[in-house]
Amino acid sequence: MISGSITTLNEERHIADCIRSLQQVCDEVIVVDSLSTDRTVEIAEACGARVISQEYLGDGPQKNVSRSHVKNDWILSLDADERLDEDAVATIRSLDLNNPTHHAYGFRKKNYIGDRWVRCAGLWPAFRGRLYHKQHVRWDDRKGHTKLDAKKVGLLPGHMLHYAYADYGEYLNKIFRYSRRGARLLHEEGKRTTALGAVAHGAFTFFKNYLLRRGWMGGLDGLVVSVISAVGSFMKYAQLRELQRSHQGEESLSTARSRRTA
């Protein structure tokens, strides 16, 4: 049997459909909630999920919380805005998990903006590991975007559906939020950049997504995804530069105070 796992923070719009999607192949669903202030917990419990409240630890550590609460060895992990497509459900039901070929499996992901599946600019094809044996595999400890810490993740037929963005505005807002978090994580790791470096990162991201990943084939969606991704990359490194300058200013002030009191 398989246990479903979802991490949430204020996901009342998505959580019910995500739980129902997992219940097609899981005999239990665990929701690890980061102290939501909306109706996420209420809706999850009404749908039959068990909710574990846990202050946010970072992506990897947060996803690993469910490992000590599930009853099964196999865990299928989805984000609240992800669903299993019909072909993925059929594939999972056909697996012999008592004699697996891998300790972790994944699917290709269909990313949507509104009701449009975007098949270019880095949003397709996207592969993500999601089904894993808890005795052999865990999520890595990165606080940013995490992945399964497995030697090899088997690719299964079927797809996940990712309803990440209702429209361009929500896409832009999320990218700005991710850029702030990304800048903080880079700063904590001791990474540095310059103003020119921020521009270079943004320009390369646009070049990669619009030309190399064929965003130009996606019409307006491809162009918007390429531009917003480039802006997000630029802002991440621009904010990293801002954090550096703020830290340097604090160090200079501390040094000046030390000299005056010496």
**Residues 62, 56 contacting (CB under 8 angstroms):** yes
Total Cβ atoms within 10 A of residue 73: 15
Give whole-number Cα distances, 241 to 91, 180, 252, 253, 257, in Å: 46, 12, 16, 18, 24
**Residues 39, 97 contacting (CB under 8 angstroms):** no
The structure tokens listed for 83 are 């669903």
Residue with tokens 């479903």: 4
Segments of 134-197 assigned E as strands = 138-139, 148-149, 154-165
List per-residue pLDDT tens for the chain, 262 residues long.
999 999 999 999 999 999 999 999 999 999 999 999 999 999 999 999 999 999 999 999 999 999 999 999 999 999 999 999 999 999 999 999 999 999 999 999 999 999 999 999 999 888 999 999 999 999 999 888 899 999 999 999 999 999 989 999 999 999 999 999 999 999 999 999 999 999 999 999 999 999 999 999 999 999 999 999 999 999 999 999 999 998 776 555 555 566 566 5
Tell me whether the omega of the peptide bond preceding residue 157 falls within 30 degrees of 0, making it cis.
no
The class level of CATH for 2-165 reads alpha beta
3-state class (DSSP) for residue 193: coil
The structure tokens listed for 203 are 């320009």
**Residues 136, 157 contacting (CB under 8 angstroms):** no
How crowded is the C-beta side of 104, counted as CA atoms within 13 Å? Answer: 19
